[in-house]
């Protein structure tokens, strides 16, 4: 196992550090701007690039580049939503994403505001379409940036640090321990499990807010139409009376 892992890490490390860092930044930019993240996850790109990091200069350069790429992608996504949002949503790609996902993002944004921008960076699907959705909303770019910057910084530090830590630990122990490869795998898998659990917990907690938003929308429609005979709406109105 050590031989195969050493070969893979050597291949990644053999790529010019500047090129490797730029490719990671471009990958993150594409992920959040034109929905590439729905196909190729940015976390994989960043972790692979981080395994080639050698020294603090490359480490911080990768973090800064990933943050810059994420913010640039978020900004492009915001602009696309502002000027072409309805067209993108009605396009073939928009239809493949699913109207329910677009509606869910809208309801979530309406309910949570800027906090939805921050949390969505750590949620599947939503992190790719929220920038476009925000662009189609009334939220200003300044507010959007105020919430997405800390999320991108936290995300970048977490993923780059894990990739660099796993690869660095392996290189230090590979010559002395025959099971060093398993330590590398344990770090990556352990982090992946933590990410999965966090995403599931966040999705479950935030899904409640999305559900409440949907109920609020129904209630608002009923308020505009006093002739409604929806039993659920009538029951809620009786409880609130």
- Three-class secondary structure assignment of 47-85: HHHHCCCCHHHHHHHHHHHHHHHHHHHHHHHHHHHHHHH
pLDDT band at 181 (very low <50, low <70, confident <90, very high): confident
Indicate yes or no: pTM above 0.75. yes
Residue with tokens 């000027």: 83
Specify the higher pLDDT residue, 112 or 215. Answer: 112
Residue 9: what pLDDT?
Answer: 84
In whole angstroms, how far apart are CA 22 and each of 16, 26, 46, 50, 85? 10, 6, 11, 12, 28
Domain assignment present for 235: no
Say whether pLDDT at 85 is over 70.
Answer: yes
**What integer pLDDT is reported at residue 16 of this predicted model?**
93
Range 92-111 average pLDDT: 85
Which tens digit of pLDDT belongs to each residue from 13-56? Answer: 889 999 999 999 988 888 777 666 566 677 888 999 999 998 99
Give me the pLDDT at residue 148, please: 94
pLDDT tens per residue, range 67-79: 999 999 999 989 9
The two three-digit tokens of residue 60, written as one number: 């911080």
Above 60 in pLDDT, residue 238? no
Q: Establish if 168 belongs to a structural domain.
A: yes
| Structural domain contains residue 6 | yes
Which whole number is the average pLDDT over 225-238?
A: 46
In this structure, the number of other CB atoms found within 10 A of the CB of residue 150 comes to 11
pLDDT at 124: 76
Is a pLDDT exceeding 60 seen at residue 224?
A: no
Please check whether residue 192 lies inside any domain of the structure.
yes
Residue 238, domain member (yes or no)? no
pLDDT over 70 at 221, yes or no: no
57 belongs to a structural domain: yes
Confidence of residue 203 (pLDDT cuts 50, 70, 90): confident
CA-wise closest residue to 97 among 127, 54, 67, 70: 127
For the chain, the helix, strand and coil percentages under 3-state DSSP, each to the nearest 5: 85, 0, 15
What is the residue range of 171's domain?
2-226
- How many domains would you assign to the chain? 1
> pLDDT band for position 237 (50/70/90)?
very low
- Can you tell me the mean pLDDT for 122-149? 89
Model pLDDT, residue 37 = 59
Tell me which DSSP letter residue 225 carries: -
Q: How confident is the model at residue 128 (pLDDT cuts 50, 70, 90)?
A: confident
Task: Tell me, yes or no, whether 99 lies in a domain.
Answer: yes
Instruction: Please report whether residue 231 resides in a domain.
Output: no
Share of the chain above pLDDT 70, in %: 82
Residues in the chain: 241
pLDDT of residue 213: 45
Predicted confidence band of residue 222 (pLDDT cuts 50, 70, 90):
very low
């Amino acid at each position: 196992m050590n031989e195969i892992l050493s070969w893979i890490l050597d291949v990644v490390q053999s790529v010019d550090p500047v090129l490797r860092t730029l490719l990671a930044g471009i990958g993150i930019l594409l992920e959040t701007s034109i929905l590439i993240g729905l196909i190729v996850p940015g976390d994989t790109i960043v972790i692979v690039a981080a395994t080639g990091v050698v020294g603090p200069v490359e480490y911080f350069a990768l973090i800064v580049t990933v943050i810059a790429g994420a913010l640039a992608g978020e900004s492009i996504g915001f602009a696309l939503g502002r000027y072409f949002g309805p067209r993108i949503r009605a396009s073939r790609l928009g239809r493949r994403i699913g109207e329910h996902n677009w509606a869910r993002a809208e309801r979530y944004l309406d309910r949570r505001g800027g906090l939805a921008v921050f949390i969505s960076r750590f949620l599947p699907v939503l992190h790719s379409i929220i920038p476009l959705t925000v662009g189609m909303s009334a939220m200003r770019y300044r507010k959007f940036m105020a919430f997405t910057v800390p999320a991108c910084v936290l995300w970048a530090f977490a993923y780059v640090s894990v990739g660099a830590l796993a690869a660095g630990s392996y290189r230090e122990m590979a010559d002395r321990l025959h099971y060093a490869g398993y330590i590398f795998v344990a770090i990556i898998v352990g982090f992946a499990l933590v990410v999965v659990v966090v995403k599931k917990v966040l999705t479950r907690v935030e899904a409640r807010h999305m559900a409440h938003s949907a109920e609020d929308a129904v209630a608002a429609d009923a308020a505009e139409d006093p002739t409604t005979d929806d039993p659920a709406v009538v029951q809620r109105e009786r409880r609130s009376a």
